[in-house]
Structure 1
Amino acid sequence: MRDFATDVVLTDGVLELRPLRSSDREGLYAAASDPATWAQHPAKGRAERAVFDPYFDFLLGAGGTLVAIEVATGTILGCSRFYDVPDQPEGIAIGFTFLGCAYWGGAWNRRMKALMVGHVLQSRPEVWLHIAPDNIRSQIASGRVGAVHQYDADLDMGQGPVPYKCYTITAQSWANATRTPIEA
């Protein structure tokens, strides 16, 4: 990722995002081990150790992955990743995101997106999101933080071409969607 720092620590005092380390394997697996986490995801088996471990190795080797930690408890909640947009040479995307089921439906995803989107928008006009066509939960959640569908494409994110719905968030769409403060 040219001219973009991914090796960062981002925090709002409640949530901390920091670069993924090999020592995070067990904590991240604990967050990923509920099959409901992956029910609408194309890789439905990631709750299984044999599927999760290669995924973790991919995230660790690919770079740009930030682990999400609840500051008060030190608990790993999930992770997300900055990556280059395959068909937009200057674009930066946020994806490969998941949170354990216990952290759904509240402010955690919004906090994570606020930190990451804010970081990208410091140097880029928009942030890209790529969502599987059948991942309705993520499509709805993305719309709630200002993501606007741009087009559909088959993109290679490192494991061969896969269909994605491609969204962007701009500073204006983010501001319009997030006028209400994040709950504590």
Structure 2
Amino acid sequence: MDRQPVLEGERLRLRPLRADDWDALFAVASDPELWAGHPAHDRWQEPVFREYFGNALRNAGALVVIDKGTGQIAGASQFYDYQPDEDGRGPSVEIGFTFLARSHWGGGTNREMKRLMLAHALSQVNYVRFRVGETNLRSRTAMERIGGRLTERRQQEIKAGQPSTNVYFEIDRAEFARGPLNR
């Protein structure tokens, strides 16, 4: 699967993350409010974000979100954990590690970004997975709004030095075709 596409929408352009995006992306990520409900609530701190940024570059699936109206970076997201056929349902990929500047909350940015990413992914895989912190109500609500189906799958990990539980949402081709992102 091509995890480094350039995707164009009405208001957004998504392109592969580059090392020289550090300053602009950290300027967005350094807002503690972005991470207030997130399991990695300390990601606004420079050393923590530097680790995130380095991992995103190594992952080779990270995209920056550019507001076409201003030309400014407004956030980032990633394609990762491609599975050729993990569970007999065919290929899948995960979309995650997503964050947006508060100036882009509630105005359709997440919806457009996810529509672009899902359309790209679902042209190459059967379904897309999303891992969300169980207590991250903002992200869970956003997943429901874009048509994500909560699964039974759970995962435990340590985030910001604390145990955290993740839940998984999925969207397959048929759900995407008839879902809210295509209305």
The alignment's TM-score, normalised by the length of structure 2, stands at 0.87
What residue is the counterpart of 1:36 in the other structure?
Answer: 33
CA distance in 2, matches of 1:64, 1:77: 17
Secondary structure of 1:82's counterpart equals strand
* AA at the equivalent of 2:147: G
Secondary structure of 1:105's counterpart equals coil
Q: Structure 2: where are the runs of 5+ without partners?
A: 158-162
CA shift digits 1:39-93 (9 cap, x unpaired): 011111111212211111111112100000011211101100001167x633201
Pairing partner for 2:172 from 158, 170, 173: 170
Kept in 1: contact 2:65–2:75 (CA 8 A): yes
CA shift digits 1:130-158 (9 cap, x unpaired): 111111110110111110011232267xx
CA shift digits 1:15-52 (9 cap, x unpaired): 01000000000110111111110001111111121221
* AA at the equivalent of 2:152: Y
Kept in 2: contact 1:32–1:46 (CA 8 A): yes
CA shift digits 1:76-111 (9 cap, x unpaired): 01100001167x633201000000111111110001
Kept in 2: contact 1:94–1:128 (CA 8 A): yes
Secondary structure of 1:46's counterpart equals coil
* AA at the equivalent of 1:83: Y
Q: Does the alignment pair 1:17 with 2:14?
A: yes
Kept in 1: contact 2:39–2:164 (CA 8 A): no
Q: Does the alignment pair 1:84 with 2:81?
A: yes
Q: Structure 1: where are the runs of 5+ without partners?
A: none
Alignment of 1:1-184 (within 5 A): 4-84=1-81, 89=86, 90-154=91-155, 163-174=165-176, 175-180=178-183
CA distance in 2, matches of 1:108, 1:75: 13
What percentage of aligned pairs have identical amino acids?
Answer: 37
Deviation at residue 169 of structure 1 after TM alignment: 0.9
CA distance in 2, matches of 1:27, 1:69: 11
Secondary structure of 2:147's counterpart equals coil
CA distance in 1, matches of 2:82, 2:36: 25
Deviates more, 1:110-119 or 1:50-59: 50-59
CA distance in 2, matches of 1:138, 1:37: 11
The alignment's TM-score, normalised by the length of structure 1, stands at 0.87
User: What is the number of equivalent residue pairs in this alignment?
Assistant: 173
1:75–1:29 distance in 2 versus 1, CA, 3 Å: same
CA distance in 2, matches of 1:108, 1:163: 27
Secondary structure of 1:97's counterpart equals strand
Secondary structure of 2:116's counterpart equals helix
